[in-house]
Structure 1
Amino acid sequence: MTEQTATPTAPTEEPAAPEQELPPTGAVPAAAAEPVPAAEPVAATQPVPAAEPPAAPGQALVVAESVPAPKSSRRVLRAVARWTAAVLVLGGLGTGTALGITSMERTDVPGLATEGDGRWDYPELSLPALPAGSPRPFNEANVAEVHHADVRKLLLPAPAGATADKKLAGGWVSTSQYVSVYQKSKRAELGQVLKDSALRHITARGWTMPDGTSSRIYLLQFNSTAFAEAFRDEISDNTSIGAQLIGSPRTDLDETWSSGGRVENTATYAYAEDKPYGSEQVRHGYVLSGDTLALVIQSRKGKAGTERVPFHQTLILQNQLLG
């Protein structure tokens, strides 16, 4: 913009005709400073009456330059006003954007930890790039609702302060590794169901927080949405297989869970082990998103149990990555 900035130059001497331009809003008209009596109008080009004594050379110079001065002042004022307005507009745009972010409640920003609210400090999340020409899972062109991105890149990363689980480091895991989270009596049956369900991949990540809370996330990708939905039905608490996890012989729907943060076209189910629980409390949830099913598990030993807030936060963020 500096190329457009021009320093106002002094006007060349020209016959000063009656000014036709209106002064800029808020500016003081030149006539207001030295009003001319209405009875004796004097034009800018009118010669000085002969009856008056001739002006000295110094006085004549003052009179000659006093005529264009108001016009020059108005030009300077207009130039300053234009550039000031431009700066204010540009500054307003930047300020508006900043205010749009800073005015948001911290509770409106998933993943942003607020002191004392119990949430974990997750890193900034972003969706992975898709192969050329491949749509998102719920795009109109993607009727099968398939995740074309590498499902490993759709795993939620560990929050700040977490100790990573070396066995669940975000790579591929076996079917036997996945079914090991369920009670031993159900593992063979679940393994067979997965074998019959055209399972493509399983990836997982785990970590432990300083307070002892253990988190594990598994993503199961099937050949179609129908297989993912069918397996979700198989592990539901309403079937013979059930969804009982190790350390959690009895689970109930999490009554405190709401659909907040859920992505459109996906489904989230949250469960919590109610009191009295054993040596640890287990919370778990499923996120069904097209051809992919996520299992999120959190547990912590001791009477304090597993905190509700970080569990819900983790479900919401994993849901958003799959959407």
Structure 2
Amino acid sequence: MTDTTATETLTAETAEAAPETANPFAAPDPTGVPVPPAAPRDRRALFAALRWTAAVLVFAVAAAGTAYAVIKPERTEIPGLATKSDGRWAYPAIAKPVLPPGAPLPFAADNTEGIHYAALSQLLLPAPEGSKPDESLKADKDGMVTQDRFLEEYSEKFREQLRKGLREDSGLRQIAGRGWTTSDGTATRVYLLRFHSAGFVGNFDGCKSGMTLQGADSFDLDSAWDKAQNGQATAGRMEHATVTTYAEEKPYGPEQTKVGCVQAGDLLGVVIQTHKGTIADVPFHQTVILQDQLLE
């Protein structure tokens, strides 16, 4: 064997005995004793560990996603966890308007007349989500409606009685109104009447048991409201307003009418709701309570 061949053989043997990755920056052994090469890595064990790690990560992500899906949606959207709706409508967030600088709250100690200084349209209950606006209830850009439009809610004979009373008392300042129809066909109109003071509100006969509306000639106190006084339906009632609700007496025609009256200081809220057959109590009470809260 030539020297060249021996050198090549020695080089090959040395390469096979060397570690897979030599560290060129390692300090030399001071003893001079050759350092044995590091044991080769078990690649199969490494790959197996990596596969198990990936599997654990995938499982953790999937578990976290499942937990988020259970927490995030409404219960009614989760199969197996659905809860029956109690009939409440989805109203937008209710927020009281900002008062003019220096103006007192409606029922503050220095506001004995309970005057509301906020814009009337901002105290009017917004329509629930998914409802359609009542095109017959036209309001100006500030949400105001005319006295004649409001009086159209009442029967013709009673309408003239109310007009005369308003003309003689001269206490009515302005009216704001809004109407909508929900997917179940329930039609709602809400009005806010602003008077010069709280004393004029009680003189208005349009929210009393003797009133007659278009297509509804006889009203009595709403017994469903009275039964719910100590229940959840009226849990949101506030302390300053006087709330009275009326239901059309039987026998009524193809649809029923209910009226909710909220007297709060110088304002009177009138909620009129009609529906074919009978009116569901929960959304009617909910609408009256929310309008009440806005006036507190």
Pairwise same-fold verdict (TM > 0.5): yes
Q: What does the per-residue CA deviation read over 1:59-79, in whole Å, with 9 as the maximum and x for residues that have no partner?
A: xxxxxxxxxxxxxxxxxxxxx
Please state if 1:314 is matched with 2:282.
no
Scaled by the length of structure 1, the TM-score of the pair is 0.60
Please state if 1:180 is matched with 2:145.
no
Q: Tell me if the contact between 1:136 and 1:147 (Cα under 8 Å) persists in the aligned partners.
A: yes
1:133 is matched with 102
1:208 is matched with 181
When the two chains are superposed, the root-mean-square deviation of aligned CA atoms in Å is 1.9
Counting only pairs closer than 5 Å after superposition, residues 185-196 of structure 1 correspond to structure 2 as: 185-196=157-168
Q: Which amino acid aligns with 1:190?
A: L
Return the offset for 1:195.
Answer: 2.1
1:273 is matched with 248
Structure 2, unpaired ranges of 5+: 1-70, 76-82
In structure 2, distance between residues paired with 1:122 and 1:235: 25
Return the offset for 1:246.
Answer: 1.3
Return the offset for 1:116.
Answer: 1.5
Equivalent of 1:249, from 213, 217, 220? 217
Task: Tell me: CA distance 1:116–1:169, structure 2 relative to 1, closer, same or farther (3 Å).
Answer: farther
Return the offset for 1:115.
Answer: 4.7
In structure 2, distance between residues paired with 1:148 and 1:115: 41
In structure 1, distance between residues paired with 2:102 and 2:88: 37
Q: Which amino acid aligns with 2:221?
A: L
Q: Tell me if the contact between 1:131 and 1:149 (Cα under 8 Å) persists in the aligned partners.
A: yes
Q: What does the per-residue CA deviation read over 1:261-310, in whole Å, with 9 as the maximum and x for residues that have no partner?
A: 32212100011124332011111110000000011011012x3x211110
Q: Which amino acid aligns with 1:297?
A: I
Counting only pairs closer than 5 Å after superposition, residues 45-194 of structure 1 correspond to structure 2 as: 115-168=84-137, 171-194=143-166
Residue 293 of structure 2 aligns to a residue whose secondary structure is: helix
2:61 is matched with none
Q: Which amino acid aligns with 2:213?
A: L
Q: Tell me if the contact between 1:169 and 1:206 (Cα under 8 Å) persists in the aligned partners.
A: no
Q: Which amino acid aligns with 1:278?
A: G
Q: Tell me if the contact between 2:186 and 2:275 (Cα under 8 Å) persists in the aligned partners.
A: yes
Identical positions, percent: 44
Q: Which amino acid aligns with 1:300?
A: H
Q: What does the per-residue CA deviation read over 1:148-193, in whole Å, with 9 as the maximum and x for residues that have no partner?
A: 0001111100001100113436611111111111111111120121
Residues paired across the two proteins, number: 205
Q: Which amino acid aligns with 2:291?
A: Q
Residue 295 of structure 1 aligns to a residue whose secondary structure is: strand
Return the offset for 1:311.
Answer: 0.2
1:65 is matched with none
Scaled by the length of structure 2, the TM-score of the pair is 0.66
Q: Which amino acid aligns with 2:222?
A: D
Residue 186 of structure 1 aligns to a residue whose secondary structure is: helix
In structure 2, distance between residues paired with 1:273 and 1:208: 19
Q: Tell me if the contact between 2:207 and 2:261 (Cα under 8 Å) persists in the aligned partners.
A: no
In structure 1, distance between residues paired with 2:288 and 2:207: 18
Q: Tell me if the contact between 1:287 and 1:319 (Cα under 8 Å) persists in the aligned partners.
A: yes
Q: Which stretches of structure 1, 4 residues or longer, exceed 4 Å deviation after superposition?
A: none
Residue 230 of structure 1 aligns to a residue whose secondary structure is: coil
Q: Tell me if the contact between 1:207 and 1:214 (Cα under 8 Å) persists in the aligned partners.
A: yes
Residue 135 of structure 2 aligns to a residue whose secondary structure is: strand
Greater RCO, 1 or 2 (C-alpha within 8 Å, sep 6+):
2
Q: Which amino acid aligns with 1:201?
A: Q
Q: Tell me if the contact between 1:134 and 1:148 (Cα under 8 Å) persists in the aligned partners.
A: yes
Residue 168 of structure 1 aligns to a residue whose secondary structure is: coil
In structure 2, distance between residues paired with 1:156 and 1:192: 28
Return the offset for 1:145.
Answer: 0.7
